[in-house]
Structure formats: structure tokens, C-alpha cells
Amino acid sequence: MSANAAANVSGNVSANRIHHKVNHVSLVVDKSGSMRRHEAQLVRVVDEFVKGLQEESDRLGHETRISLYAFDHEVHNLVWDMDVKHLPSLKGLYAVDNGATALIEAAVKSVDDLKNIWEGYGEHSFLQVVVTDGEENASGYSATGTMHTRMKAAEGSAALRGWMDRIRGAMADLPEHWTSAILVPNSLAKRTAQEYGFPAGNIAIWDADSSGGVEEAIGTVKTAATSFLRGREKGVRGTRSLFTMGKDLSADDVKANLDALDTAAYALVPVDRQAPIREFVTGAGHPYRTGCSYYELSKREKIQAAKQIAVAEKDPATGLMTGRVFAGPAARGLLGLPAAESTVKPGDNPSYTVFVQSTSVNRKLVPGTQLLVML
């Protein structure tokens, strides 16, 4: 074959090469002693999370690879960048120990390891999610054999400052196609996570004291990861608002997937006082039927699997609702909500407001919001 012919073949192969999206997901899970009561649940719900990644990746035609880390006072890699289609159950891999919490070291190690992945071909994105039920107290133990709480105060402060500098540097240096998020047990831990450098929109609080807390936590991660994968279809490779819902909802998505409701079929009623939902609806002159009313998603809420969703259009210039409402069976999927209970908080979208169906008669409405009533 001549050099020119070889060049032409090479050029054709290059021109026809498949360009695919590759997602690298790293789940970094606390296995310190306080997680013991959650151990069995955690294994089950992480398996469900991985299954969800498999299904969404297949639907979108993405390649998704997963790494799993577990940490107490030491950090252990359990799975490295494996295709989610081939990942076995977490059972037998994850086991709670009686150790402390090397939270910073685990987060930094996950980031440092993922940076070794070559990105020469394909369009790569990285998503790291850390789940913990406690505060940092043991980073560096594997090197020093000492935990922060057992050090002299001055020495402990210096060691902790060093680890604080490391995680802040790691978070600050992440490229735009990297997303790092964390689930923490309370508002104090959330503030600490922000000090570490995690963006506020990538921090969620989970209930580490309840039996259903792990279910809710991994459900939150699953919802966020699904939204993340779908965002990749719109060219979004990284986000600082992973745990908010509806932020990236676009007019194209809404018009292609949802139905515009007849304006005679509903009313948008401004909520001017705090009142139970049934009392408010009847007071506004509308008959109340179970499920006829949708509250505006204005704060962190737990949304059950059977709840329907609607979105109301806003004028981006004024922020006021135009009166047009869209709904349909695809609404939950469009917003990344799984077919299970999940906890979400609203994202700031200039064009749409999300409404959630209420089946309660006593839900307290939030003044300053709107209520959507189906007539």
C-alpha cells in the first residue's frame, strides 16, 4: 500500500472514530464504628445505586465506571474504575470496623487516584461522592499511627491544618469536568465541608440517627447521579449544584416531554399566609380533593414515589410566572427523580418552578409561594 493510500485509510478511520461519553463515579463511604447500625442497609442501597447507574448509562449510551472506597482511620479502595455492568454486590466488600474517621484523607485519596486516569480519547467526566456520619479526626493515622483527638493540642492543630490545606487545594484545583460532593449528618458538618472546599450546592444533609437514613442518603445520591448523567447529554460535564433539582431544566426538555395543560383546568393561587392545605384551597373558593393540589418546591423536601410533578413557566426577565403549566408521566424522570422516595432541594431555574403533588390535608403552606390547584 502506498503512503498516500495509507494516509487516506488512516484519515477515514480517524474521521469515523466513535466519540463516546465516559463517566467515572467514585463513591467514598464511611465505615467507622458509628456506621455499624447502617451496615446491612448500606450494602443493599449501594447495590441499588449501582443498578440505577447501569440502567441510566444503558439508556443514554454512556460508559460509566465506578470506584468504591471505604474509610475509618484508614482508607481502603474496594473497587477501581470498574464498568458498572460488571460490579458485583458490595456484600463481602464493605464491613464496618471500630475505627475513627479519616474523612479528609479519604476524599483527597479518591481525587488523587482518579487523576491517574488517562483522558486521551472520549469525553470524560468525574463525579466523587463522599458519605459520612461523623467529623474528621484521623487523617494521617496510616502514616503516624496517631489520631487527632489523641495528639497534644498544638500538634493536633498543626496536623489538622495540614490536612485542611490538602483538601482545600484538591477541591480548588479540580477542573471544570470534575464534580466533588459530600453527604454529612448535620448543619455543623455542612459548614465544615464548605470550609474544606466542597461547593454549597454539592453538600447534602442526611439523617444518620434514623433507621431509614441510609436509604434516604443513597436515594439522594442516586437522584443526583441520574441528573448528572442526563446533564451530560446537554454538554454539562461538571456541576456545583449536584443536590438541587430543576436547575438545568430547559424549554426544549419541557416542550418535548410534557403536556401543556389547558388553562381552564387549573389555578395558580398565591399563598399569603401559613395555613393547612385543605383549609387554604377551600378558602380560595375551590373544592378540595385528595391530590388536587401541588405545592411549590421552595425548600428541602422528601418526595414519595407516587407523587406527581408539574412545572410552571416563568418569565426569565421578571421571575414572574406566565400562567402556563406543564405536566405528564415523564416529569419525574425529566427532573431525575427515581421511582422511589427521595429527598431533594430546589435549584434556581430562571424559566421554570417545580410543583409537587400533595395528598395531605394538613400540609402547612409556605407564605410567598404559589399553590397549583387542579380544577
Domains of the chain: 21-242 (3.40.50.410), 251-374 (no CATH)
pLDDT at position 94: 92
**Reduced 3-state DSSP string for 256-325:** HHCEECCHHHEEEEECCCCCEHHHHHHHCCCCCCCCCEEEECCCCEEECCCCCEEEEEECCCCCCEEEEE
Residue numbers in the chain where pLDDT is lower than 50: 7, 9-11, 13-14, 150-155
Amino acid in position 348: D
* Predicted model pTM: 0.76
Residue 125 CA to residue 59 CA, distance in Å, equals 18
Residue 190 in grid coordinates: 455542612
Residue 177 CA to residue 185 CA, distance in Å, equals 27
Dihedrals phi, psi of 276, to nearest 5 degrees: -60, 145
Residue 15: alpha-carbon gap to chain centroid: 36
pLDDT at position 151: 41
Residue 357 CA to residue 307 CA, distance in Å, equals 5
| Contact criterion met (CB below 8 Å) for 219 and 338 | yes
DSSP state of 232: H
CA atoms within 13 A on the CB side of 339: 7
Residue 202 CA to residue 243 CA, distance in Å, equals 6
pLDDT at position 334: 81
